[in-house]
Structure 1
Amino acid sequence: METKQTDIKLKTPIRCIVKLGGAAITCKNEFEKINEANLITVSSQLREAMMFGSSSGSVLEMDWSKRPGMAESLVKVDDYKEQLVLDFSSFVVIHGAGSFGHFQASTSGVHRGGLNQPLVKAGFVATRISVTSLNLEIVRALAREGIPSVAMSPFSCGWSTRERNIASADVSAVVEALDSGFVPVLHGDAVLDEALGCTILSGDVIISHLAAHLKPQFVVFLTDVFGVYDRPPAEPNAVLLREIAVREDGSWSVVNPTLEDSDKQVEISVASHDTTGGMVTKISEAAMIAKHGIDVYIVKAATEHSLTALSGKLRDKIPDDWLGTVIRHVS
């Protein structure tokens, strides 16, 4: 892996990297359909978490595009002239694809490589059209909350892999955006692969890479379930794993609740069209992040528990009534 950016210097230390799970912000079993209610709530919670002090007061939207049912953009320029620049703490947002991109990628086999095949090349283009269209809608949702969000696609930023492992991932553009007061919004993407020709770079791998280089105070995974369970959460008697400890070698075990076999592998189900590994990849990458001494919170999106996690209130003490999974490094 290229590591030209090992000595990254940010003007302001980054507070949090957030992963918006595809299943939380889209209707994963309905082709290219956004979960509008969840996205609106998540965007509002992100604004509240990012702002110093109270989140009350008027929101000055930054999405001036035409919307359905509107003849033109209703921008009141004078509202911005007397408005102080809001002081947002540094966040990076990364989102999954959900019902966008996965179907195109799995149908064409983009994740397996082979750009010399017409179907794969067409699928590569189709996948990127789909995921970037979702990225635009998320950027717009954040902008409507007054968050200065900017889209940053890994492919367009020159990220690439070799045998599905990151080979080149210059984060200088992300750093420049942060230092300029923007909130970068990245996403899982179809990228070039030095050995395979192409593959899918998942958002969970991206967040692990950025966390290692940007060193946020904490990382939050927003999902469609309350956290990590000892088996698929839809199964009877599924137990929420409240705390997972990660050791120096990257291995992990459940410390709360106490299980009969605390080192057993969690049983995970993955949708047939998911080309990124689902929760398996999420836990693995979360453990790698925790190895750097960065707390990771996995929590259900658009709930009071997600707002608690995003606000950084879990760093000192985990409330007994908080529902989610904490993944931490132990020496």
Structure 2
Amino acid sequence: MDDHQRSEHRNLVKPLRCIVKLGGAAITCKNDLEKINEANLEMVATQLRRVMISGSSSSKVPGMDWSKRNGKLETSLDVDEFKDQELLESSSFIVVHGAGSFGHFQASQSGVHKGGLKRPIVKAGFVATRISIASADLSTVAKALDLGFIPVLHGDAVLDELQGCTILSGDVIIRHLAEHLKPDYVVFLTDVFGVYDRPPTEPDAVLLKEIAVREDGNWSVVKPPLEDSQVEMTVATHDTTGGMQTKISEAASIAKLGIDVYIVKAATTHSVRALSGDLKGNIPDDWLGTAIRFAG
């Protein structure tokens, strides 16, 4: 990509408000193979729709879900509903979703994240499926935003010059997009309230409300003050993209750009506040989540 193209990406016709990561652990049942967390997914979709759409004079927004289950339409669609419907003004968002239990188990078992391209099961997978560029090129994403679409991206198995193949994490894609498209803020929706000083399943785990990132990329906890600054993080054995460790690393890189990052539990009132952009300035005491900001 040349300098002219990079410059174009930074000057979207419609500024990018937010990049959202739908964590796989939040929208699937992470310990059950290929099982959706339907309640969470429905609530997250509803909240996203609410914060994206603004300026509608109509109390009703017609559904556009043509998806089928068991051969039947889940929603009744009347095309006439759209004839006199105003074009809704929506904020510019990009959504990146994780695979959760629909990808990590298989990737861990096959070893695709460690460069196992020579293994028959991995090679067959690449041959049998279309090899996609999961991040899409920036010009396509920027064009979609300017046309009023909401790009939906995801991580995937990709070829790699050093390892042969690996998993390109959605968290890495978000950092790449944030660097070039400069959103107002970034929100990671997870299955826990945020970043803790130790695994949140432990009884004395403390939620870190605010983390400051310095110019050199190192970070420290601002709120609450901790006697021991060491933060312990674990990664599930089947998580092939680094779990919370990758989120912290990528969030710190984004914060260095002057873009606030919020890590918050999906499908909660706290996630709505983060998605709405209501957390600029001081973090409210009653908000549960982690804000990661540039200290400079």
Question: Does TM-score exceed 0.5, indicating one fold?
Answer: yes
User: CA 1:232/1:255 → structure 2, altered by over 3 Å: closer, same or farther?
Assistant: same
Q: Which stretches in structure 1 are left out of the alignment for 5+ residues?
A: 130-154, 160-168
**% same residue:** 70
Tell me: CA distance 1:72–1:33, structure 2 relative to 1, closer, same or farther (3 Å): closer
Helix, strand or coil: the match of 2:61? coil
Counterpart of 1:27? 29
Q: CA deviation at 1:271?
A: 0.9
Map of 1:316 onto structure 2: 281
Structure 2: unaligned runs, 5 residues or longer: none
1:238-273 deviations in Å (ceiling 9; x for gaps): 0000000000011000010001133x2x21111111
Counterparts in 2 of 1:210-225, with a 5 A limit? Answer: 210-225=177-192
**Equivalent position of 1:122 in the other structure:** 124
Q: Residue 3 and residue 235 in structure 1: after superposition, are their counterparts in 2 closer, same or farther (change >3 A)?
A: farther
- In 2, the alpha carbon distance for the partners of 1:218 and 1:317 equals 15
CA-based RMSD of the aligned residues comes to: 2.1
Distance 1:244 1:73, change over 3 A: closer
* Counterpart contact for 1:110–1:124, Cα < 8 Å: no
How far apart, CA to CA, are the structure 2 residues paired with 1:125 and 1:315? 47
Which residue is equivalent to 2:159? 192
Equivalent position to 1:258, from 205, 225, 231: 225
- Provide the rounded CA distance (Å) in 2 between the counterparts of 1:279 and 1:203: 12
User: In 1, Cα distance between the equivalents of 2:294 and 2:21?
Assistant: 19
Matched, 1:289 2:291: no
Question: Could you tell me which residue of structure 1 aligns to residue 92 of structure 2?
Answer: 90
Question: Residue 180 of structure 1: CA displacement?
Answer: 1.1
Residue 48 of structure 1: SS of its match in structure 2?
helix
Stretch of structure 1 that moved more, 30-39 or 191-200: 191-200
Distance 2:174 2:246 in 1: 11
Is 1:274 the counterpart of 2:235? The answer is: no
1:146-175 deviation line (CA, Å, top 9, x unaligned): xxxxxxxxx53475xxxxxxxxx6311111
Give the 3-state SS of the residue equivalent to 1:228 in structure 2.
Answer: coil
Question: How much has 1:34 moved relative to structure 2?
Answer: 0.7
CA distance in 2, matches of 1:224, 1:76: 36
The answer to whether 1:12 aligns with 2:14 is: yes
Displacement of 1:71 in angstroms is: 6.5
Q: Distance in 2 between matches of 1:234 and 1:55?
A: 45
Are residues 1:300 and 2:276 paired?
no
**1:113-192 equivalent positions in 2, closer than 5 A:** 113-124=115-126, 156-157=132-133, 170-192=137-159
For 1:111, the equivalent position in structure 2 comes to 113
What's the secondary structure of 1:292's corresponding residue? coil
Q: Which residue of 2 aligns with 1:240?
A: 207
**Which residue matches 1:205?**
172
- 1:285 offset after TM fit, Å? 0.3
TM-score, normalised with respect to structure 1: 0.83
8 Å CA contact 1:48, 1:55 repeated in 2 = no
CA distance in 2, matches of 1:98, 1:55: 38
Report deviation, 1:120. Answer: 1.5
Give the conservation status (yes or no) of the 8 Å contact 2:67–2:73.
Answer: no
